[in-house]
Amino acid sequence: MLKIDHVTKSFGGLMAVNNVTFQLDDTGITGLVGPNGSGKTTLFHLITGFYKLDRGQIHFKDKRISGLPPHVISRMGLVRSFQQTRVLPFLSALENLMAASPAQAGEHLSSVFFQPRRVKREESRNKERAIQILELLKLEALGQHLAGRLSFGQQKLLELGRVLMAEPKLILLDEPTAGINPTLIRQLVYVIRELAGKKIQFFLIEHNMPLVAEICEKVFMMDSGSLIFCGTPSEAVQNPRVIEAYLGSEDHVA
């Protein structure tokens, strides 16, 4: 599905991602862990085209995606969320979702003017889907609210909903549970698990190790830009390098 091949990225003298190679097969939920500053988010930026790689290649579904602009990669079915929530504050929650519908004819000027009926049909279909997703996230009562007025946790959920709306094959989530309360975490986990069975794969950066152990089938671990571990969560917590880099050392905890 996703193949990362000798990927390297440095900022000045800092090696943010150093010669990383791994492959994501058909695992439902894969975790990416590692201390702060280990290069996880940079790797996400590289995969989704927001950063250009210095060296290496990335393939998605056997097509090379490294070097393509972010919107092209997104259209191929590889959609991400952001570490800091980025809802569209002055659009309603419903509009936030509808805007994410993929391949909308109504985004072309010619269709807007010459195929208004088609655009209208498409819009009502997209609205229906958006409402379904709001219901899945239990946000249906907030559809007309401005997204910027929702609570932080609700914004996180909305952002996940927006990613789902884009009909992805592989979803990259950057710290989906950071800073939200336990009830919402359970809801998020429920949604991710619900969907992971339905031809959608998840790849997520997560600091909450018990949660990673609970939901991920496979875990990758990065430290100082390099990949240092790959295996199941139960193997991870016993691996001495993982314990040294992450679990056992307090200096790395933010």
8-state DSSP, 149: G
Q: How far is the CB of 228 from another protein (least distance, A)?
A: 28
171, β-bridge pairs: 79, 202
Q: Determine contact, residues 222/7, Cβ cutoff 8 Å.
A: no
One character per residue 165-204, x = contact with another protein (rule: CB under 8 A):
-x--------------------------------------
Nearest to 236 by CA among 251, 214, 253: 214
Site residues for another protein, 124-153, by CB under 8 A, read 146, 149
User: In the set 80, 177, 215, 219, which binds another protein (CB under 8 A)?
Assistant: 80
User: In the set 3, 8, 37, 50, which binds another protein (CB under 8 A)?
Assistant: 50
The verdict on 123 binding another protein (CB under 8 A) reads: yes
The verdict on 88 binding another protein (CB under 8 A) reads: yes
As given in the structure block, the two tokens for residue 14 are: 């800092």
Strand order in the sheet with 14-24: 14-24, 2-11, 55-60, 63-64
Give the residue with the Cβ less far from another protein, 12 or 113.
Answer: 113
What are the distances in angstroms from CA 233 to CA 1, 26, 72, 203, 216?
21, 17, 33, 14, 7
Q: How far is the CB of 212 from another protein (least distance, A)?
A: 24
The verdict on 99 binding another protein (CB under 8 A) reads: yes
Cα–Cα distance measured from residue 104 to residue 17, given in angstroms and rounded to the nearest whole number = 35
Cα–Cα distance measured from residue 176 to residue 105, given in angstroms and rounded to the nearest whole number = 31
Q: Determine contact, residues 58/7, Cβ cutoff 8 Å.
A: yes
The verdict on 156 binding another protein (CB under 8 A) reads: no
Q: Total residues at the site for another protein (CB under 8 A)? A: 40
User: In the set 20, 46, 100, 130, which binds another protein (CB under 8 A)?
Assistant: 100
Cα–Cα distance measured from residue 39 to residue 25, given in angstroms and rounded to the nearest whole number = 21
Q: Determine contact, residues 39/225, Cβ cutoff 8 Å.
A: yes
User: In the set 12, 13, 113, 251, which binds another protein (CB under 8 A)?
Assistant: 113
The verdict on 107 binding another protein (CB under 8 A) reads: yes
Site of interaction with another protein (CB under 8 A): 48-50, 69-72, 74-75, 79-80, 82, 86, 88-91, 95, 98-109, 112-113, 116, 119, 122-123, 146, 149, 162, 166
